[in-house]
A and B are shown apart, each in its own frame.
Chain A
Amino acid sequence: MTGATDISRLASDEPLVEVAGITKYYGERRGCEDVSFDVYPGEVLAVVGESGSGKSTLLNVLSTALEPTTGEVRYRLRDSTMRSLFAMSEAERRVLMRTDWGFVHQDPAQGLRMSVSAGANVGERLMAVGERHYGRLRAAATDWLARVEIAADRIDDAPRTFSGGMRQRLQIARNLVSGPRLVFMDEPTGGLDVSVQARLLDLLRTLVADLGLSAVIVTHDLAVARLLSHRILVMRDGRVIESGLTDQVLDDPAASYTQLLVASVLQV
């Protein structure tokens, strides 16, 4: 499990996100069907499944990159009002995306401006919400680069010159600098070398805990789910076939597919 958890965050009984009956069809093809769950503040939810399970579709609908065929996603704003995301205007959603949310892509190049310096990548969201002091921007960027273990002298280098692991850490810094409450992650360690993965997972684990973030993490790797998440959703063919406390689902799986998944993981 993820170690000591901040009790005060767990005490909140108001969900941050309410997902109700989300169904997404691509024409005849089912992306996901009738998915419902809540995410609470400070909670990390892993969505696991194999290719074609619908987990990425679900993530894209939650982060409003895709519109669902039916169903609703409600989000609690900072003033505690609950709003239906797809009833909002695109302008409002874009503001949320910049201030309240983060999205860590599997391919960091998709979540970064590759030809702009690392410092500018981290500072962009701050500039977007009105920070106009170069010195403060640079200080914030330096601080965050340190937190994601990127050497301070790389602040003026473009991510084109970074390794995959470094780019991913930069993407995380870029997302977290605006103090989001909810972070979506799509296979955040996908494609990285094992030792690089370990470093990234450790970083994510610490940051999520320190900052009290809620997160929805899509992954096919059960070990990642176990390390990072409190709760887990197991998906297959677009449906959620099991959900619950992560260590419970992984140690005592009920559904036959879950048992198969768990049994299929290679031990080192």
Chain B
Amino acid sequence: MAEREAENDMAEPRVTLENVSKSFVLHLMGSTRLDVVSDVSFSIADGCCTVLGGPSGAGKSSILKMIYGNYRVDSGRILVRDAATTVDVATAAPRAILRLRATTIGYVSQFLRVIPRVSALDIVAGHGLEDGAANLARARTLLRHLSVPERLWALPPATFSGGEQQRVNIACGFMALKPVLLLDEPTASLDDRNRDAVVELIEDRRRAGAAIIAIFHDAALRERLADDVVDVTRHAAAVKETAHE
């Protein structure tokens, strides 16, 4: 731990959140405003796994989504360092965010978004950055590691069970080696054996120097993997009811 802390002091952080606040304005419900997070700041270094802590509904998933550019940021900055520059995801142009996703940020969401007609193998291989054959080979390795039965590889995942879909999702996230990896409850629907397989992947990634930000509901996993825990509710505000015109 001390070693890693020393490394952190020397290296520039990979991801930095500065005073990030977000709320939803629900126009369909009389413009109710729902505060999600308020004034959150932390940073993550390469080779570290930071776990986001806090109760359910505290905005943990939203933070991951904001880092990925999937959610908007009301105020504050989210700085992500890629090879050449540092990008503020909160204000970046869509193209820049797409570029960041392609090269720098990997994401395993809670739910797999299914595309019709494409086989599980092709979906996973499509997340690779190398040539076709190499991508397919790596996809097979990952699916095998995650115990996705081979008979399912040629099928589109729409009819898979929740756990199977989640494992396909995880495989997608681990295809390309990217400096940042965002994990949202990656082991939620998995049994012990598969959970351990995922932990192996995460530890490999951390050893390879990835900056990992994760949400785990499982306390034991948190113990095992977290180098750092950030409580996102530290500065959270209460829900406000405001009527807007």
B102 touches A252 (CB 8 A): no
Contact among B98, B99, B116 with A198 in the assembled complex (CB-CB below 8 Å): B116
Number of A-B contacts (CB under 8 A): 70
A40 to B103, CA, bound (A): 18
In the bound complex, do residue A202 and residue B115 qualify as a contact, i.e. CB atoms below 8 Å apart? yes
Q: Which B residues touch A5, using CB under 8 A?
A: 98, 101-102
Binds B, one of A27-35, A48-56, A69-77, A253-261: A253-261
Chain B 27-66 interface residues, beta-carbon cutoff 8 Å to A:
27-28, 31, 65
B66 nearest in chain A by CB position: A252
Q: Is the CB of B28 within 8 A of A251?
A: no
Within 8 Å of chain A (Cβ to Cβ): is B151? no
Which chain A residues lie closer than 8 Å to B117 at the CB level?
198-199, 202
**How distant is the Cα of A7 from the Cα of B127 in the complex, in angstroms?**
12
Q: Does A18 contact B (CB under 8 A)?
A: no
B116-145 contacts to A (CB < 8 Å): 116-118, 123, 126-129
Which of B26, B69, B72, B94 is A231 in contact with, Cβ under 8 Å? B94
Report Cα–Cα, A255/B28, bound state, in Å: 10
Contact A4 B27 (CB under 8 A): no
How many residues in A have their beta carbons less than 8 Å from beta carbons of B?
Answer: 29
Contact A251 B95 (CB under 8 A): no
Q: Give the residue name and chain of the B residue nearest to A11 (CB).
A: B99
Given known contacts A198-B117, A260-B28, A10 and B99 CB-to-CB distance under 8 angstroms: yes
B contact set with A: CB distance below 8 Å: 24-28, 31, 65, 69-72, 94-95, 97-99, 101-103, 113, 115-118, 123, 126-129
20 pairs across A/B with beta carbons < 8 Å? A3-B126, A3-B127, A4-B126, A4-B127, A4-B128, A4-B129, A10-B95, A201-B116, A205-B115, A245-B97, A248-B72, A252-B24, A252-B65, A252-B70, A252-B71, A256-B27, A256-B28, A259-B26, A259-B27, A260-B27
